[in-house]
Amino acid sequence: MLFPTIDFAIFFGIVFILNWLLKPYKTYWKLFILAASYLFYSWWDWRFVFLLAASTVCTTTGGILVHRSRTERGRRFALAGTVTAELGLLAWFKYYGFVVQNVDNALHRMGFHGEIPLLNVTLPVGISFFTFMGLSYVIDVYRRKLEPARPIDVAVFVAFFPHLVAGPIVRGRELIPQIAEAHNRDPRSIEFPRAAYLIMAGLFKKVVLSSYISTAIVDPVFANPGQHSALEALFAIWGYAVQIYCDFSGYTDIAIGCAMLLGFQFPVNFNSPYMARTLQDFWRRWHMTLSFWLRDYLYIPLGGNQGGDAMLYRNIMITMLLGGLWHGAAWTFVAWGALHGIGQCTGHFRRKRRAAAGRPAMSDAPLAVAWQRFATFQYVCLGWVFFRATSFNNAFDMLGRLVSGWTMPSPLVTFPVVLTVVVGIGTQYVPPGFTATCERVFSRWGVLMQGAALAAILLVITTLGPPGVAPFIYFRF
Contact 183, 26 (CB under 8 A): yes
Closest by CA to 413, choosing from 176, 261, 237, is 237
Is 327 labeled as catalytic in the residue annotation?
yes
Alpha-carbon Rg of the chain, whole angstroms? 24
* Beta strand segments in 278-339, E: none
Q: Which of 353, 357, 339, 278 is nearest to 309 (CA)?
A: 353
SS3 content of the chain, % helix, strand, coil (to 5): 75, 0, 25
Q: What is the separation of C-alpha 257 from the centre of its chain, rounded to a whole number of angstroms?
A: 16
Name the nearest CA neighbour of 475 among 112, 204, 165, 236: 165
d(CA 295, CA 291) in angstroms, rounded, equals 6
What's the CA gap between 110 and 452, in Å, rounded? 68
HSE, side-chain direction, 13 A CA sphere, residue 295: 10
Q: CA–CA distance from 169 to each of 70, 84, 293, 339, 346 (Å)?
A: 30, 20, 8, 24, 29
Question: Could you say which of 163, 228, 287, 327 is catalytic?
Answer: 327
Write down how long the chain is: 477
Query: Are the C-beta atoms of 339 and 382 separated by less than 8 Å?
Result: yes
Give, as one character, the DSSP assignment of residue 54.
H
Interatomic CA distance for residues 209 and 250, integer angstroms: 10
Element holding 112 (H helix, E strand): none
Residue 388's closest CA among 186, 178, 236?
236
Neighbours of 406 (CB within 10 A): 13
| Omega of the bond leading into 168 within 30 degrees of 0 (cis) | yes
> Using an 8 Å Cβ cutoff, are 252 and 474 in contact?
no
Q: How far apart are CA 354 and CA 356, in angstroms?
A: 5
Cα dihedral sign for 302, 306, 312, 314? negative
Contact predicate 249/270, CB 8 Å: yes
Q: What are phi and psi of 263, to 5 degrees?
A: 100, 20
Q: Any idea which residues carry the catalytic annotation? A: 327
